[in-house]
């Protein structure tokens, strides 16, 4: 039998160690938003629920004290059925947890921050031969509100985290995405982006985005334009740098635009609302590397021609493949020269 209490305690311990060691990676604003999400998770609040600032600030103070005490501690192994497992040995751990309807996640996220979570399995299905896990209540988690991921060749949607993530996207949407967002809302029968309307229609919007999350992860698994082993080597060689961010953005764009990805699925289903939300929420380097989609969407809104979107997606995919090839070549050349600083400079110069 699995000692559920001990398991939750161990996973949360590792979450706290990771947060304590890596909180400094975030900007003040970025850390505040992540702490707010963690607070909501602990209090089981709806994404739009907010407590008074003094109560939240007091909780943050307690959390910072906990991090100070955890600074010198180490990650714990997981003890299951009398055996001890490395906290990153997710495949073996999940084999044991399956009977208890639990799913465990561990890995390295952006800037190589270790991330951990433990959740109940709400639903398991398959897509293109890949297991798909929809997770329910999370029993342990860290600062990172990751909506979905691929792990051990499976697609995982962390629905609690995904709901917080989506609400923040809608609440803090950039001006450049507002027109597409409003257009998508109208396709869902939602008059405008007032908070009351968004709360009432949240499940409808979430269902659309959950499908996008799933197909993004399917694209990540299926597309082989950027060899995953080499990609991880590049990530490990340039942690916490623009080169790491570029490598992640190129991988995300390949997943989005490949034949198995979310945009291909949106086009196949002619899901205009899903397309609008994709454009509305596009941000950061992925948006910069995929300039074709915004003008194509504007033209689509006027004409309704899906071929315009298909052409833009094909162009984006070809560009992402070229970016991946460039990064591979420059990395190998830098390794041959024994000068990875040169590699980083060239990748940033040529892609940025």
Domain boundaries, the chain: 4-158, 173-351
Which of 15-19, 107-111, 153-157, 215-219 is the least confident region? 107-111
Q: Looking at residue 111, what is its pLDDT?
A: 87
Comparing CA positions, the residue from 120, 142, 15 lying closest to residue 78 is: 15
Average pLDDT value for the chain: 96
Q: Go through the chain and tell me how many residues it has.
A: 352
223-256 pLDDT tens trace: 999 999 999 999 999 999 999 999 999 999 999 9
SS3 154: strand
Rounded to an integer, the average pLDDT of 42-53 is 96
Q: Looking at residue 37, what is its pLDDT?
A: 96
Cα 299 from Cα 293, distance rounded (Å): 10
Indicate if the pLDDT at residue 1 is higher than 80. Answer: no
Q: Count the Cβ atoms, other than its own, within 10 Å of residue 342.
A: 13
Comparing CA positions, the residue from 256, 148, 257, 167 lying closest to residue 206 is: 167
Beta bridge partners of 156: 133, 149
Rounded to an integer, the average pLDDT of 42-52 is 96
Cα 191 from Cα 198, distance rounded (Å): 10
254-279 pLDDT tens trace: 999 999 999 999 999 999 999 999 99
Kindly write down the DSSP assignment for every residue of 309-324, as one continuous string: HHHHHHHHHHHHHHHH
Indicate if the pLDDT at residue 119 is higher than 90. Answer: yes
The phi and psi torsions of 226 (rounded to 5 degrees) equal -125, 100
pLDDT band at 287 (very low <50, low <70, confident <90, very high): very high
Which of 36-45, 62-71, 146-155 is the least confident region? 62-71
290-303 pLDDT tens trace: 999 999 999 999 99
165-217 pLDDT tens trace: 999 999 999 999 999 999 999 999 999 999 999 999 999 999 999 999 999 99
CA distances in angstroms from 74 to 68, 80, 87, listed in the order given: 13, 19, 11
SS3 156: strand
Which residues 6+ apart lie within 8 Å of 254 measured at CB?
A: 219, 223, 225, 226, 261, 317, 320, 321, 324
Kindly write down the DSSP assignment for every residue of 202-216, as one continuous string: HHHHHHHHHHHHHHH
Indicate if the pLDDT at residue 72 is higher than 80. Answer: no
Which residues 6+ apart lie within 8 Å of 99 measured at CB?
A: 2
Kindly write down the DSSP assignment for every residue of 67-133, as one continuous string: HHHHTT--PPPEEETTEEE-TT-HHHHHHHHGGGTEEEEEEE-GGG-EEEEEEEEEEEEEETTEEEE
DSSP 259: T
pTM of the model: 0.96
Q: Looking at residue 130, what is its pLDDT?
A: 97
Q: Looking at residue 107, what is its pLDDT?
A: 96
Place of tokens 């086009």: 267
Rounded to an integer, the average pLDDT of 41-59 is 96
Indicate if the pLDDT at residue 71 is higher than 80. Answer: no
Q: Looking at residue 34, what is its pLDDT?
A: 95
Kindly write down the DSSP assignment for every residue of 2-55, as one continuous string: --HHHHHHHHHHHHHHHHHHHGGGS-HHHHHHHHHHHHHHHHT--TT----HHH
Whole-angstrom Cα Rg for the chain: 21
Rounded to an integer, the average pLDDT of 314-321 is 98
């Amino acid at each position: 039998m699995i000692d559920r209490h001990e398991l939750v305690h161990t996973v949360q311990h590792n979450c706290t160690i990771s947060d304590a060691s890596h909180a400094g990676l975030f900007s003040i604003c970025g850390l505040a938003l992540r702490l707010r999400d963690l607070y909501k998770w602990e209090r089981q609040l709806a994404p739009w629920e907010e407590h008074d600032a003094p109560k939240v600030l007091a909780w943050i103070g307690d959390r910072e004290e906990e991090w100070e005490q955890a600074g010198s501690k180490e990650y714990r192994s997981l003890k299951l059925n009398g055996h001890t497992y490395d906290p990153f040995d997710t495949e073996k751990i999940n084999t044991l947890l399956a009977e208890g309807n639990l799913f465990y996640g561990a890995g390295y996220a952006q800037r190589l921050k270790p991330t951990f979570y433990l959740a109940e399995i709400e639903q398991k299905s398959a897509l293109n031969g890949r297991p798909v896990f929809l997770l329910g209540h999370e029993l342990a988690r860290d600062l990172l509100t990751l909506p979905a991921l691929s792990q051990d060749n499976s697609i995982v949607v962390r629905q609690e985290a995904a709901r917080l993530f989506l609400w923040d996207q809608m609440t803090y949407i950039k001006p450049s995405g507002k027109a597409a967002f409003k257009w998508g809302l109208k396709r869902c029968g939602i008059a405008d982006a007032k908070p009351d309307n968004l709360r009432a229609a949240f499940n409808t919007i979430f269902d659309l985005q959950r499908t996008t999350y799933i197909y993004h992860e399917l694209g990540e698994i299926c597309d082989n334009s950027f060899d995953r082993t080499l990609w991880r080597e590049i990530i490990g060689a340039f942690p916490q740098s623009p080169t790491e961010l570029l490598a992640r953005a190129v991988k995300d764009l390949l997943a989005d635009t490949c034949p198995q990805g979310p945009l291909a699925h949106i086009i196949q289903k002619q899901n205009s609302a899903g397309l609008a939300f994709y454009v509305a929420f596009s941000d950061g380097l992925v948006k910069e590397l995929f300039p074709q989609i915004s003008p194509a969407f504007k033209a689509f809104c006027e004409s309704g021609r899906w071929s315009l979107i298909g052409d833009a997606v094909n162009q984006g995919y070809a560009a992402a493949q070229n970016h991946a090839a460039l990064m591979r070549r420059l990395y190998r050349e830098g390794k041959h020269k024994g000068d990875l600083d040169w590699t980083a400079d060239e990748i940033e110069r040529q892609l940025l």
